[in-house]
Amino acid sequence: MSEAKMVFIGGAGNMAGAVIGGLVASGYPAERIVATGRNEQKLADFAAKTGVRTSTDNDAAVAEADVLVLSVKPQMMKELCQSIAARVVERQPLVISLAAGIPLAAYRRWLGAGVPIVRAMPNTPALVGTGVTGLYAGEGVTGDQKQVAQKIAEAVGIAIWVEEESGIDRVIAVSGSGPAYYFQFMESMIDAAEKAGMARADAERLTLQTALGAAKLAVASDVDVGQLKRNVMSPNGTTERAIQCFQSGGLPELVERAMGDCAERAAEMAKELDN
Ligand SMILES: NC(=O)C1=CN([C@@H]2O[C@H](COP(=O)(O)OP(=O)(O)OC[C@H]3O[C@@H](n4cnc5c(N)ncnc54)[C@H](OP(=O)(O)O)[C@@H]3O)[C@@H](O)[C@H]2O)C=CC1
Ligand SMILES: O=C(O)[C@@H]1CCC=N1
C-alpha cells in the first residue's frame, strides 16, 4: 500500500484534509498523494502544510489513481462522479467514498456498475491519528482491495467493517458526527465556566485536558464507563449533584434522540438523490 497512488477529490476539505494529514503524519509518502479542489489558494496552502501534490484537474488526477477517494459534499457528488466516470472506468482504481447519505447504488449509476467501491465513514480526529472509520464493501471489491481500504483507515486510527450498508448510518451517528457532540459539550462547559467567573483561557485549558484525560482513562481502563463515572461520584458529593442534574434534565434521552435524528438524516439524504 505504500506504493499506491492516492487521489483525494476534495482533498483540502475538512474530512479528506484530516485523513491526508493523518496519513502523512503516519509516514505515508506525501508525494504519493494528490489532493484536488477548485480553489487554488486553498490548495496551495494545503500543499504547503502537508507536502502533498495538489491539482484543480480532477480528470488528470484520476488518470493516475490507484486509490480514488471521493470527498466532496454529498450534494455535489453526482455531478462530480459524472464528470470523471469515463476516466474511472478506464483506470479502474479502488474507489472509496467518504460521503454521508449516498448509497453504493448511486455510485454504480453515476460511475458504472463494474467499479469497485468501498464506503468509508471516517471522522476528523483522523488528523491526529485517533480517527474511527466504518467501512462497507460493495460487490466486486476483492479481499486485497478491502485490505487496502482498511490499511488506509488504520493509518489514521481504528477501523471496523459493517455487514450491511445501513450499518454506515449507525457509524455516522456514533463516530462520524460524534466528534461534534463532544465539541458541543466542551463548548458548553467552557461557556458555563466563564459565566461562573473563570478566565476563558483557563476554562478552555481545564475543559480540554479533562476531556482528554477522561477519554484516555476510558480507553485504557478495563472497567466500563458507567463504573468510571461512579468512581468520580462520592455519595452525596458534588459530582452526584451534577450527574443528577444531567439525568433529571433528560440528557440520556436527548443523546438517544440526537443520534437517532442523525442516522435518520443520513437515510433521508439517500432518498433525496435525484438519480
Ligand atoms: N466533516 C466531517 O467530519 C465528515 C465528513 N464526511 C463526508 O466528507 C465529505 C466532505 O465533507 P467535508 O470535508 O466536511 O466538506 P468540505 O466542504 O470541507 O470539503 C469538500 C471539498 O470538496 C472540494 N470540492 C468541491 N467540489 C469539487 C470538485 N468539483 N472538484 C474537486 N474538489 C471539489 C472543496 O474544495 P473547493 O473549496 O476548492 O471547492 C472542498 O475542499 C462529505 O461528503 C461528508 O459527508 C464524512 C465523515 C465526517
Ligand atoms: O454532517 C455531516 O453530514 C458529515 C457526515 C458525518 C460528519 N459530518
Given a contact cutoff of 8 angstroms between Cβ atoms, the answer to whether 119 and 135 are in contact is yes
Atom of ligand 1 nearest to the CA of 56: 31
- CB atoms near residue 253 (< 10 Å): 10
Task: Give the start-to-end residue ranges of the domains of the chain.
Answer: 6-171, 178-269
Mean pLDDT for back-to-back runs of 10 residues, the chain (275 residues): 86 97 95 98 98 98 98 97 97 97 96 94 96 95 96 96 97 98 98 98 98 98 98 98 98 98 96 84
Q: Which ligand 2 atom sits closest to the C-alpha of 124?
A: 7
Q: Is 141 in the pocket of ligand 1 (CB under 6 A)?
A: no
CATH class of 178-269: mainly alpha
123 lines ligand 1 (CB under 6 A): yes
What is the C-alpha separation between 71 and 10, in angstroms, rounded? 5
Strands 131-137 and 117-121: antiparallel
- pLDDT number for residue 275: 73
Evaluated on CA atoms 211, 176, 34, 12, the torsion sign reads negative
CA R_g for the chain = 21
Q: Do domains 6-171 and 178-269 have the same CATH topology?
A: no
Q: What angle do CA 144, 87, 31 make, to 5 degrees?
A: 65
Cα angle at 97 between 84 and 95, to 5 degrees? 60
- Give me the helices (H) in the chain, please: 14-25, 40-50, 58-62, 74-91, 104-111, 143-155, 167-171, 178-195, 200-220, 225-232, 238-248, 251-272
Give Cα 228 distance to the centre of its chain.
27
The answer for 101, left when phi > 0, alpha when psi is -120 to 50, beta otherwise, is left
Superfamily assignment of 6-171 in CATH? NAD(P)-binding Rossmann-like Domain (3.40.50.720)
Q: Is 153 in the pocket of ligand 2 (CB under 6 A)?
A: no
Cell numbers representing residue 261 in the block? 435524528
The finding on whether 36 has its CB within 6 A of some atom of ligand 1 is yes
| Structure confidence at residue 269 (pLDDT) | 95
Shortest-distance Cα residue to atom 8 of ligand 2:
177
Which ligand 1 atom minimizes the distance to the CA of 74? 43
Establish whether residue 172 lines the binding site of ligand 2, counting it when its CB lies within 6 angstroms of any ligand atom: yes
pTM value is 0.96
